[in-house]
Chains A and B, each alone.
Chain A
């Protein structure tokens, strides 16, 4: 078995009175893509938001249980949340570049995290991040143009470049292609294949075909529970739980 990067144990999440996750336990392999699928409101986004403690900002959200990254409990009292978020980058459903230049979008993270000491270091990080996100060739002559002037697919790759600029080891992607056309989607999927040589990727997706194409393991969430997690091939050819089968074959939503 490949080594484990993230491990969740009996995770329970409440938003006020409402319980969003019930006893979720699963692991995610290092430098692999793990896909999370399930109908809207099933808890998959809540789950990945626990992985970088994004839920901390919601007052009524209460997280119980344990999440370990590289064996360290990320909800331990001495955990520095800023450092955690440096290691766990995130890309959202809708591309959300800052209303700044392409360069500034990518330079922002390294600046605030104090990663780059000199201007030349910063330039190097920006160029490398744009290259890794397969965007550099398309924008190299207009780095001072606004990030919002790019196409949707380019904006999403800019957000990926921004996420990797602070040198994380994990990238969380919450439906990163749902606002993109099939060509831009294919580019992001191809990019994920390249990125997993360096990063552990967790993707939430509503597209069954996308989960099947990009991931090595897939987890199916339903009503706040992790119904089944297995090799992607098994989930889509012969899942063990009837609910998984009904969902992936379009029998309930």
Chain B
């Protein structure tokens, strides 16, 4: 992408861009840390993670203010307009992803919840898959690569499958031992948090497609979970 004649315009767009990348990095770390805390059942670490969510929220507000300023002062057009509008949407999605990651930590921080060991490792595995999706979509954003964005989008089908398998296991565990119901319910929510993060990654991939091509991404998952068969 060649530069604008007015260099201060490029500086503003670059700042939006770098703030989004920074925010994406924080979200990736937030999920990673939550998974570590979950695996280790480390309540003290979980408390720390909960506090870190503020940083993500603050960055979202910064990006909102920056985009508002660019729209008011520069009247961006074409790819610039798509970049600025998508920045708002991506920042919003990243903020939601941060909330989901933080929700995991909130459950881990609650010492009264006794979680069974077996499905925890599966959930951490699923979370690590989502974490690599985040990494992929951030790479796509940095490189403004439609191809990488679609690759990240397509990964979500694996997450849905893992979620279905975990869901089944948790139902089975609860049926076999009613004492685990409380712990398993929390794990179900955690698995759902992770699954939702995958959906937000897809949103971001769609935004990247819009930035690079000017068109909405028309894509359907090859597989779809059939809940009636669960």
* A251 surroundings in chain B (CB, below 8 A): 2-5
B131 to chain A, nearest CB (A): 33
Shortest C-beta distance, B144 to chain A (Å), equals 14
In the bound complex, residues from chain B placing their C-beta under 8 Å from that of A236 are 77-78
Number of A positions contacting B (CB below 8 A): 14
Which residues of chain B have C-beta atoms less than 8 A from A249's C-beta?
A: 4, 76-80
B5 touches A238 (CB 8 A): no
Collect the chain B residues with CB atoms within 8 Å of residue A245's CB: 78-79
A227, chain B: closest CB distance, angstroms: 14
A209 to B77, CA, bound (A): 10
A237 at the A/B interface (Cβ < 8 Å)? yes
A244 CB, min distance to chain B CBs, angstroms:
8
CB distance from A83 to the nearest CB of B (A): 41
Q: Which residue of B lies closest to A246 (CB)?
A: B2
Q: In the complex, what residue of chain A is closest to B215 when comparing beta carbons?
A: A238
Contact with A along B78-103 (1 / 0, CB 8 A): 11111000000000000000000000
The residue in B3, B78, B79, B82 that gathers the most chain A C-beta atoms within 10 A of its C-beta is B78
Using known A-B contacts A237-B214, A238-B214, determine if residue A252 contacts B77 with beta carbons closer than 8 Å: no
- Digitize B43-65: 1 where CB-to-A-CB distance is under 8 Å, 0 elsewhere: 00000000000000000000000
Closest B residue, CB atoms, query A248 = B77
A151 to B99, CA, bound (A): 59
A114 CB within 8 Å of chain B:
no
In the complex, residue of chain B having the shortest beta-carbon distance to the beta carbon of A236: B77
Decide: A253 and B79 in contact? CB cutoff 8 A.
Answer: no
Specify the chain B residue showing the minimal Cβ separation from A238: B214
B residues adjacent to A (C-beta < 8 A): 2-6, 9, 75-82, 214-215
A209-B75, A236-B78, A245-B78 given; 15 more Cβ-contact pairs under 8 Å: A236-B77, A237-B78, A237-B81, A237-B214, A238-B214, A238-B215, A246-B2, A248-B77, A249-B4, A249-B79, A249-B80, A250-B4, A250-B9, A251-B4, A251-B5
A–B pairs, 10, beta carbons within 8 Å:
A236-B77, A236-B78, A238-B78, A238-B82, A239-B78, A250-B4, A250-B6, A251-B4, A252-B2, A252-B5
